[in-house]
Every structure is written in structure tokens, then in C-alpha cells.
Amino acid sequence: MHTDLWNHALALYARPGVEAACLELQALGGDVCLLLCATWLQARGVAVLDERAQALRAVAEPWQREVIAPLRSLRQQWRTAAQADAQLGLLRERLKGLELQAEKALLERLQEHARQWSADSHAPTDDWLARLAPDQTHHNDALVQLRVAAAALQDAEDGA
């Protein structure tokens, strides 16, 4: 059973250790939306091709740079001040909601772009995470944890 990318991301993110792994990968320069998309494509059995990986990056990078990163940066800047200022704390929570909406919009854009890529049982699926994760994360425990959690989620869905 394969769900849409947003619901796949929610289910995977809810698994133990995934949130911490994603935050660590993000701190190392990883695009969490792109990595969640990688696990979704892997679960669907979509073959990894250079042009597909490049296309996904072309969708994700401007949205991350121009929309998500500024929202995240402002939210993080307000962290300390919001603890002492209730009004700023409320604004920060609203900003957090906007950041989540922006991430959902990116996942929808990635899904739409990948929609026509069907599973190909004759082509090797390779490793989407390895292809879309930054080089500095390839031997990181957080990437391993994400990969293991994604495989466990897939096993749970296949067994359902």
C-alpha cells in the first residue's frame, strides 16, 4: 500500500528517532523534505536516475532557499525572546505553522513532479537516500536511522 508523500512523511516522522535524525541531517545541510521524498520513492520502487534526482533538487532548492529557510531562520531567532514575551511566543507558534505549511507545499510539489515515475520492476531501484542526501551525511548515524525507520515503515505497510 503506497500513500501520498505527505502522509508517508507524517507516518515516517512519527516513528521513534526519526524527528531527531531529520533535525541532525538538516543541521548537516540536508533537505528533510527531499530526504522524506527519497524514502517515499524508494518505498514505491521507483528507479533512481540522475535526471530524476536533479529534477527533484531543482524543485526543492529554490523553495527551501526562498520560502522555508527564511521562515525557519526567523522562528529560530525568536526562540529565546519568545520565552519571555507571550505575544512574541504566539507569533512564533504561528510562524512555526507557516513553516510546516511551506514544507507540506514542497512535499506536494515534489510529489507532483515525481507523479509520472512509476515503479519499474526491471530496473534496479538503487538508493534514493544516498543520491539525495548531502555527501557529509552519507556515513552519519542519522541517515542510517532514517533508512532503517523507512524500511520498517515499508515492512509494516506491506504487512497490513
Structural domain boundaries of the chain?
A: 5-159
1 — pLDDT class (breaks 50, 70, 90): very low
Q: Look-up: residue for cell 523534505?
A: 33
User: What is the radius of gyration, based on Cα positions, of the chain?
Assistant: 16
- The 10s digit of each residue's pLDDT in 115-155 is 989 877 666 667 999 999 999 999 999 999 999 999 999 88
Interhelix angle for 86-114 vs 50-63, to 10°?
Answer: 150
Q: Look-up: residue for cell 531501484?
A: 125
Above pLDDT 70, what percent of the chain? 94
In sequence order, what are the residues at sequence separation of 6 or more whose Cβ sits closer than 8 angstroms to the Cβ of residue 148? Answer: none
Chain-wide mean pLDDT for the chain? 93
pTM exceeds cut of 0.75: yes
Task: Using alpha carbons, select from 28, 62, 51 the residue that is nearest to residue 138.
Answer: 28
